[in-house]
Structure 1
Amino acid sequence: MTHSPAVLVLEDGRVFGGSAFGATGTAFGEAVFATGMTGYQETLTDPSYRRQVVVATAPQIGNTGWVPEDDESAGIQVAGFVVRDLSPAPSNWRASHSLPDAMTAQGVVGISGIDTRALTRHLRSRGAMRCGIFTGDAVVGTDDMVAAVREIPDMAGLSLTDEVSTTETYTVPAQGEPRFSVAAVDLGIKANTPRSFAARGITTHVVPASVTLEEILALGVDGVFLSNGPGDPATADHAVALTRQILERRIPLFGICFGNQILGRALGFGTYKLKFGHRGINQPVVDHHTGATMVTSQNHGFAVDAPAGEDLATGFGTVRVGFSSLNDGVVEGLTCLDVPAFSVQFHPEAAAGPHDAGYLFDRFIELLELAAAAPADTVTASDVKEL
């Protein structure tokens, strides 16, 4: 099978030639690299990658084909996909079709044959940047393609929650005997999060990002979850205001990824854009609560600006950095000492793994148990035992 020529053009003028796969045409977004050796389908369907062109650092992609039941959302979310070697044929008894077929059906443009090692080194050096994939008749003069890339908006300052959030509340029931219920604010939630709650006896009401406190209270839930999602957390003012209301009510709260950044802002901390972000399934993190080190799945280009190793005074009492990256010291989670709330920047619900951090769902459940057994104004996230 032959593929038509394609080019990847970065905003700084760097051009990489390759072959088109998937849909034809153009794709624009922020060029980022993901270091996972597996799980490309979960990556492509993760809403946190909205408007990003993902570069796979693993050398060959497509071996396991496409398995619809493994999607993390209703469809492919990335703006485009960049790989070195595209597998000529999938080998997976669960697969219904190939990666290129899935991308073609969903109108997603890809490019293969790229020197992804050189591209990744360039992005590590220069930072994540805007890019475009041009295929077929869209391949024109370099100056014109660079100009087109530079016209798209930067990720900094971009609000994308409304593009990925559910418009109506839906419920994922608990498996077995129900223990608690949680309102999950959908900022770009992955399907494996409600499944992870359900497996532990938690019923999850997934609510729109525009939800109000009154609507959450009407559900009669025991706790609130803030999901992962795309875009700049500095634009998420509604989610921040809602989180402050939840903290004031002392409703147990757990946040993941974008949810960690929202909690950080609600507590009064700033956020900032990382040079090239953390993306992949091999990111080392230390849990300051237990001293344990774990390998985590991550996908974030922004981080909370807070110092580790000290008690931090906020409008909601004392807060500590609960988790830190062992690569660069970036804040990977927050723990509130005076209200029942904590968050992590990484993904304990990770599919295709790793699963080192799955215990954090159990930590949240213990927080729910403490809140159910004691007066609401006495429980804090720091009361949870080491699991």
Structure 2
Amino acid sequence: MSSPVYLDYAATTPVDPRVAEVMSRHLTLDGTFANPASRSHMPGWLAEQAVENARRQVADLINADPREIVWTSGATEADNLALIGYLRANRERGRHLVTSTIEHKAVIDTAKALESEGFDVTWLAPDAGGRTSPERLAAAMRPDTQLVSLMAVNNELGSINDISALAEVAHAHGAVMHVDAAQAVGRIPLDVRDQDIDLMSLSGHKVYGPKGIGALFVKRSPELRLQALIHGGGHERGMRSGTLATHQIAGMGEAFALAAQEGAADQTRIGVLRDRLLAGLADIPGVHHNTDTATAVPNILNLGFDGVDGESLLMALRDIALSTGSACNSASVEPSYVLKGIGVPRRLALASLRLSLGRFTSDEDIERAVSALRHALMGLRERAAP
């Protein structure tokens, strides 16, 4: 029995074997397992060295200073630290946040929590392609706007925001720019200097690294103050206390180093596979592209199918691992809020699937996926016909 074709890389990526090998060297007694905060002996120094090497690997990919990388448990915690930490620390200057209606739930739910604390949030609607325009952002800015939070790449559509242009608007109005870049690492170029980013959330498990580890880039500036959310020991320059998970950090560092070396080539190859998948479905009527493939990252593809129910289609595709949307929203029976946010009709939104490809997707995987989709669509439509 063959294993399912995995086309849910946007939910999580498998750990690259080269990353797993690095992680394995930081777990057991014969490896670099010690607490990196233990500075009274050699094992602790070696663990600290591994952490700092990984910090540099992450920083190098985004053109940051290693001292600007703060380890977190993932991009969700990084988003929380960026939004809550910054706004609480600067509330006397203003209480206004600008974000969009199709951000990841880690930003949306955090923004809603801030609203319950008395902060004011403006929710921007994206265009039909899932992008936020600088003009719409400029219209939302106010004298008390302190923070703008907009993602680099949307996790359900693959749409790419012009972060440089958005940051220029934010800074022109005296606000700080936060970017959720969890889906962007290894997919598009990221340069915190050229793009003028102040805060940026990063994830390990979206880029062939381990789960449970992420980072927040915090630009070195005396005016950029964050209030810690986790206390106890003053680790990470007081911004995030807790014993550092050396093996996970080393894994994330190696994953980012590999992304720097192979990310562009990965995306070129994945683009060819995506086009082959689309070509295999091209003669089937009633297939809608929710993703604007001309301007999106090639690894994420969102398609809607006339005449079927999305959940029924998923059940019919037992040998294909994919999703109807974000993994963080998969328990909901409502249509994707991202698809609703770009104006996809409810009926079609409920009949849409996200297919996401990755480093280990093969030609055979695409052939099997096309065959399974065609068979499932034909069968469901035949049963639904009067």
The TM tier, using the shorter chain, reads under 0.3
Query: TM-score of the superposition, structure 2-length normalised?
Result: 0.25
**Greater helix share, structure number:** 2
Higher RCO (C-alpha under 8 Å, 6+ residues apart): 2
